[in-house]
Amino acid sequence: MDIQALNDIAVKMVEPGKGILAADESTGTIGKRFDSIGTESTFEKRRDWREMLFRTQPAMENHISGVILFDETIRQDAADGTSLVKLIQDSGAIPGIKVDTGAKPLAGRPGETITEGLDGLRDRLKEYYELGARFAKWRAVIEISHPDQYVGMTPTIGGIKANTHALGRYAALCQEAGIVPIVEPEVLMGGHHNVARCHEVTENVLNSLFTELYEQGVKLEGTILKPNMVVAGKKCTLQPSREEIAERTIKVLKDTVPAAVPGIAFLSGGQDNEEATRNLDMMNKIGGFPWKLTYSYGRALQQSALFAWKGKAENYDAAQAAFNHRAKMNGLASKGEWSEGLDAAG
Ligand code: 13P
């Protein structure tokens, strides 16, 4: 393993002003996104949508350091026959690949899931490297049960350990293959829990994750963390301020993430576009931490463009304008230079 080469990639992924575009929706998930704009999800439509994003300038050149792809997309060509991987590389961004095969029910632990995909991963990583991937993503999913639920409360220690163990094994295999692992333990924000509970669970999960990474010989210098922010569940009646979200998130990260990690790229997880941008911006305005803090957003980078596009070729320019705007706003947030006025002006 060439740790310097891995570190060079990781540092490039979190370059100030840039972040990661998560365009790795599985065929099922992108089908749901397309349903929301009344568009049928076909092989060609998925290609058109993603090709449009990867051709958007100056967003790609100035604000996207890497793109996470799905297996179908890393093998797919643009309409003119250029590979989508080449489009990404030509814009100066790094192609990446989602390698987990999804979260399945965890036996013995009702209400919890385990992310699968370790079997055969060594060979798959070799192929993805040849196809151009220089980083990978694996997402573990942690669900917080309803605050009134005492019996069968989640997450359990067993559920957390199973998931962080898988993340550790995945990360070690990636580094062996010359690929930077994005380790993503996502604490979901859909529930009724308050921000203090999200804080507690996120802290447990990240502590468990970094223990596993250490025990499995993962070099932190060649790793990117993709966590949730510390927020209240969407159905909680008491929603924290942006200051509280930023302060709690920084506190949890400082308490658990070693300084050797070059960067932390957040998921948006269902926050709306502006919320995801302003929370990242607030953290970078506060500052005082050893890693770069940036974005690895899926929905928060794509949603406005998706609604502008509506599956129609004639909306191509409007969709690119929407993507350019979100990319620019998030680029500013990665430096703590965003403002509501600038966002509204776009
Ligand atoms: P969201 O930003 O839509 O949560 O997607 C990021 C991602 O890659 C989740 O795995």
Range 128-146 average pLDDT: 98
pLDDT number for residue 320:
98
The rounded percent of the chain whose pLDDT value lies above 90 is 99
In this prediction, residue 62 has a pLDDT band, given cuts at 50, 70 and 90, of very high
Beta bridge partners of 183: 138, 225
Note if 12 is an active site residue. no
Q: Which of 25, 51, 112, 184 is catalytic?
A: 184
| Res 237 pLDDT > 90 | yes
| Res 93 pLDDT > 90 | yes
Residues whose CB falls within 8 Å of the CB of residue 312, separated by 6 or more in sequence, listed in order: none
Domain count, the chain: 1
The CATH number that applies at residue 244 is 3.20.20.70
pLDDT number for residue 346:
83
Range 217-223 average pLDDT: 98
Q: How far is the CA of 22 from the centre of ligand 1 (A)?
A: 6
| From 268, 280, 303, 306, mutation site for ligand 1 pocket: most ligand atoms within 8 A of C-beta | 268
pLDDT number for residue 1:
78
- In degrees, rounded to 5, the angle at the alpha carbon of residue 47 between the alpha carbons of residues 265 and 275 is 35
Q: Which residues of 219-237 are buried (b: 16+ CB within 10 A; e: fewer)?
A: bbbbbbbbbbbbbbbeebe
Contact 49, 308 (CB under 8 A): no
Range 205-234 average pLDDT: 98
159-204 pLDDT, tens per residue? 999 999 999 999 999 999 999 999 999 999 999 999 999 999 999 9
Domain containing residue 70: 3-345
Q: Residue 270 and residue 292: Cα distance in Å, rounded? A: 22
| From 138, 296, 303, 304, mutation site for ligand 1 pocket: most ligand atoms within 8 A of C-beta | 296
| Res 50 pLDDT > 90 | yes
Q: How far is the CA of 25 from the centre of ligand 1 (A)?
A: 8
Contact 226, 202 (CB under 8 A): no
In this prediction, residue 116 has a pLDDT band, given cuts at 50, 70 and 90, of very high
Q: Which residues of 14-36 are buried (b: 16+ CB within 10 A; e: fewer)?
A: beebbbbbbbbbeeeebeebbee
Range 83-89 average pLDDT: 98
Range 271-297 average pLDDT: 98
Pocket of ligand 1 (CB under 6 A): 22, 139, 184, 267-269, 297-300
Instruction: Report how far apart, in Å, the C-alpha atoms of 62 and of each of 134, 167, 180, 222, 332 are.
Output: 19, 31, 21, 23, 11
Candidates 17, 83, 35, 18; CA nearest to 337 is: 17
Q: What is the residue-averaged pLDDT of the chain?
A: 98
Q: How far is the CA of 81 from the centre of ligand 1 (A)?
A: 28
Cis geometry, peptide bond prior to residue 227 (ω within 30 degrees of 0): no
Range 138-165 average pLDDT: 97
9-33 pLDDT, tens per residue? 999 999 999 999 999 999 999 999 9
Higher pLDDT: 108 or 1? It is 108
Candidates 151, 168, 243, 174; CA nearest to 205 is: 168
Range 101-118 average pLDDT: 98
